[in-house]
Amino acid sequence: MTDRQPLKELGQQLRVDAVRAADAAGSGHPTSSMSAADLMAVLASEHLQYDFDSPEHSGNDHLIFSKGHASLLLYSLYKACGVVSDDELLRYRRLGSPLEGHPTPRLPWVDVATGSLGQGLPIGAGVALAGAELDRLPYRVWVLCGDSELAEGSVWEAMEYAGQAGLANLTAILDINRLGQRGPTRHGWDLDAYRRRVEAFGWHTVEIDGHDVDEIDSAYRQAREETDRPTAIIARTVKGAGVSAVADQEGAHGKPLSDAEQAIAELGGRRDLRIEVSRPESGGVRQRERPGGRQVELPTFAVGEEVATRDAFGQAVSAIGGARPDTVVLDGEVADSTRAKFFAEQHPDRFFEFYIAEQQMVAAAVGLQVRGWTPYAATFAAFLARAYDFIRMAAVSRADINLVGSHAGVSIGEDGPSQMGLEDIAALRAVHNSVVLHPSDANSAARLTAGMAEHDGVSYLRTLRGKTPVLYGPEEGFEIGGSKVLRSSSNDRVTVVGAGVTVHEALAAADALAGEGIGVRVVDAYSIKPVDAPTLRAAAAETGHVITVEDHWPEGGLGDAVLDAFADTRSTPRTMKLAATGMPASATPQEQLREAGIDAGAIEAAVRGILRQEREPAAAGS
């Protein structure tokens, strides 16, 4: 770098365009964009390697705006790179514009959605992991972080993970502009406070003036030369830099400048500089074009054999890993419990341990799928709650990830409620475009483990701790959106819909009642989202009454999914929901099911109650 003036001019141009676009939109975060303008001007001009004609070029660097509210800066940068027109920029935040308030992959150069702070760095660590361990390509991952978001624990999960993994291809650019949304940040401009923390986690750090293009350039150079550790560039910057009315002022967050014209004049007016971004020197294959792999030979289990669905998952994902080289498995230090260990034993090079850091685990899954890998991330169903914001955002990122939650429900037994997934179905159903699967036996679990990867979006498989008898032959098919009718006769008077362990309780109840001549239809609703509405409606129409039974809280789970299938139909059946209601404590699995009122006895009682009511006249108010 010889002439620094063009870079300074470019920084000013990015500021001007941020101010202009915010002004046109009437909203946005120009001051948060202005602090990092010089950092991005130097990065794009001198260090980034990216082929804008081919966003999926396998050698491309990845630039992630963890501070997604600085979208104005990102889009102004894209304009300078020639891929966004000025007209498009001025349609920022308008209906139909892909230039959203916070970046999403509706733009081909955006890998993941950001805007929920503290997510870009852990996701970037996942992309860097792909580069270092899987793609084995020299692309770099650059993550622009705000200072406020460094309060998020997820950032420190990423610092720990990337530091220990020695991800030298990862650079965090910390835009320390001193001011958060409502006032000063915890550490203000105390760059050393950040340095001490980041260094303690094993990172290389460089402290710079974030508006000095020479210092910025030198820092990137050091980051690129570092071979053993990730680098954090700790940049002292000024929020709203370049415009005296807002520079380093409180109360100027998240709104257009009151006098845009004056600000643009102070910034030196409009410019039309173009950045020629370097193209990557290596790579070239499109990320998604991986060898397809062999046909998967899934494990099979004999009908009647007792096998936990978590075991079936573990064996299946291991088999899938053998056939499909794009399969990777992520663990939160419970692989022995989730049975992800079976994959680890067979494919140690594609198994990644994140220790007890579920946010980083899910973030890494999102990062790996950016590079075309097919991740399965497994922990206890209960502990996916720890990563719920990452799962929510994965949907905004249009990410294809497979989540597996073991130890579902009260049926785990003695360990008690802290370990029981009892809200996971509700949480995962409420993720945009998600799939929620809860098999009751080993063969269906194995099939669905393979099937879930075919779904575009967030897929969730809920598995059981305890063994259940195998119900289905190995040849049986299981589709997303399907179900199985396990008991059916022409004189069925009630339909019982279960999933997972409650299918077996339903079968026991049905068999007991059949002995008394009471016909009960049993449906295994292994696909809870989408639920098999046609089958459920047909069963309801034929039997009149429906009972749902689930090892989950009553809200948002299987029962609600079934009610939804009946909602907008002409003959809505009377439906009774059985679910866990009281807070469980310790007990054996069978005691837990009984105490929760979701065992065979409770189902039998519910069926009898319905048939008794049928014989009685309607009471007032019911």
357 contact partners, CB below 8 Å, separation of at least 6: 157, 160, 161, 332
Q: Which of 102, 339, 407, 484 binds its own copies (CB under 8 A)?
A: 102
In the bound complex, what is the minimum distance in angstroms from residue 376's beta carbon to its own copies?
A: 17
618 by DSSP, 3-state: which? coil
Q: Which of 17, 61, 111, 152 binds its own copies (CB under 8 A)?
A: 152
Per annotation, catalytic residue among 266, 358, 505, 550: 358
In the bound complex, what is the minimum distance in angstroms from residue 503's beta carbon to its own copies?
A: 20
Question: Are 90 and 21 spatial neighbours (Cβ–Cβ below 8 Å)?
Answer: yes
Residue 155 engages its own copies in binding (rule: CB under 8 A): yes
* Identity of the amino acid at 391: I
Task: Say how far apart CA 34 and CA 582 lie, in whole Å.
Answer: 53
Segment contacting its own copies by CB under 8 A, of 56-64, 116-124, 230-238, 271-279: 116-124
- Segment 161-200, which members bind its own copies (CB under 8 A)? 164, 180-182, 185-186, 196-197, 199-200
Residue 500 to residues 27, 154, 395, 522, 543, Cα–Cα distance (Å): 48, 32, 25, 13, 22
Pick between residue 416 and residue 601 the one whose CB is nearest to its own copies. Answer: 416
For residue 405, the cross-strand partners are: 379, 462
- Segment 25-64, which members bind its own copies (CB under 8 A)? 25, 27-28
In the bound complex, what is the minimum distance in angstroms from residue 296's beta carbon to its own copies?
A: 26
Residue 586 engages its own copies in binding (rule: CB under 8 A): yes
- Segment 318-377, which members bind its own copies (CB under 8 A)? 331, 333-337, 341, 354-357, 359-360
E strand intervals along 407-491: 435-437, 458-462, 467-469, 484-487
Task: Say how far apart CA 587 and CA 451 lie, in whole Å.
Answer: 34
Residue 104 engages its own copies in binding (rule: CB under 8 A): yes
DSSP assignment, residue 519?
A: E
Total residue count of the chain as it appears in this document: 622
505 by DSSP, 3-state: which? helix
Segment contacting its own copies by CB under 8 A, of 156-164, 169-177, 240-248, 502-510: 156-164
- Segment 60-99, which members bind its own copies (CB under 8 A)? 68, 92-99
- The Cα diameter of the chain in Å comes to 92
196 by DSSP, 3-state: which? helix
Q: Which of 577, 598, 599, 602 binds its own copies (CB under 8 A)?
A: 577
Residue 572 engages its own copies in binding (rule: CB under 8 A): yes
Task: Say how far apart CA 482 and CA 327 lie, in whole Å.
Answer: 25
Residue 270 engages its own copies in binding (rule: CB under 8 A): no
Pick between residue 471 and residue 496 the one whose CB is nearest to its own copies. Answer: 496
Q: Which of 138, 293, 481, 554 binds its own copies (CB under 8 A)?
A: 554
Q: What is the DSSP track for 477-540?
A: ---TT--EEEE--TTEEEEEEE-THHHHHHHHHHHHHHTTT-EEEEEE--EEES--HHHHHHHH
- Whose tokens are 């039974």? That residue is 549
Q: Which of 37, 74, 107, 113 binds its own copies (CB under 8 A)?
A: 113
* Beta-carbon-side half-sphere exposure of residue 23 (alpha carbons within 13 Å): 14
286 contact partners, CB below 8 Å, separation of at least 6: 54, 56, 57, 58
Q: Which of 126, 210, 367, 557 binds its own copies (CB under 8 A)?
A: 557
Q: Which of 50, 351, 388, 478 binds its own copies (CB under 8 A)?
A: 388
- Segment 117-136, which members bind its own copies (CB under 8 A)? 117-118
Pick between residue 52 and residue 566 the one whose CB is nearest to its own copies. Answer: 566
Residue 291 engages its own copies in binding (rule: CB under 8 A): no
Segment contacting its own copies by CB under 8 A, of 3-11, 107-115, 236-244, 489-497: 107-115
Pick between residue 277 and residue 335 the one whose CB is nearest to its own copies. Answer: 335
CA gyration radius, the chain = 28
Residue 419 engages its own copies in binding (rule: CB under 8 A): yes
Question: Are 317 and 340 spatial neighbours (Cβ–Cβ below 8 Å)?
Answer: yes
Pick between residue 42 and residue 129 the one whose CB is nearest to its own copies. Answer: 129
In the bound complex, what is the minimum distance in angstroms from residue 305's beta carbon to its own copies?
A: 24
Judging by DSSP bridges, how do beta strands 527-529 and 435-437 pair with one another? antiparallel
* Identity of the amino acid at 572: T
Instruction: Tell me if residue 225 is catalytic.
Output: no
Q: Which of 386, 447, 462, 504 binds its own copies (CB under 8 A)?
A: 386
Pick between residue 235 and residue 422 the one whose CB is nearest to its own copies. Answer: 422
Task: Say how far apart CA 396 and CA 21 lie, in whole Å.
Answer: 23
Number of residues lying near its own copies (CB under 8 A): 118
Burial of 418: CB neighbours in 10 Å, binned 0-12, 13-18, 19+: exposed
Q: Which of 345, 414, 456, 511 binds its own copies (CB under 8 A)?
A: 414
Going by C-alpha positions, the residue among 380, 293, 398 that lies closest to residue 340 is 380
3-class secondary structure per residue, 224-276: HHCCCCCEEEEEECCCCCCCCCCCCCCCCCCCCCCCHHHHHHHCCCCCCCCCC
Residue 433 engages its own copies in binding (rule: CB under 8 A): yes
Residue 542 engages its own copies in binding (rule: CB under 8 A): no
In the bound complex, what is the minimum distance in angstroms from residue 277's beta carbon to its own copies?
A: 26
Q: Which of 23, 175, 215, 423 binds its own copies (CB under 8 A)?
A: 423
Residue 574 engages its own copies in binding (rule: CB under 8 A): yes
In the bound complex, what is the minimum distance in angstroms from residue 260's beta carbon to its own copies?
A: 17
Catalytic residues, which ones?
A: 358
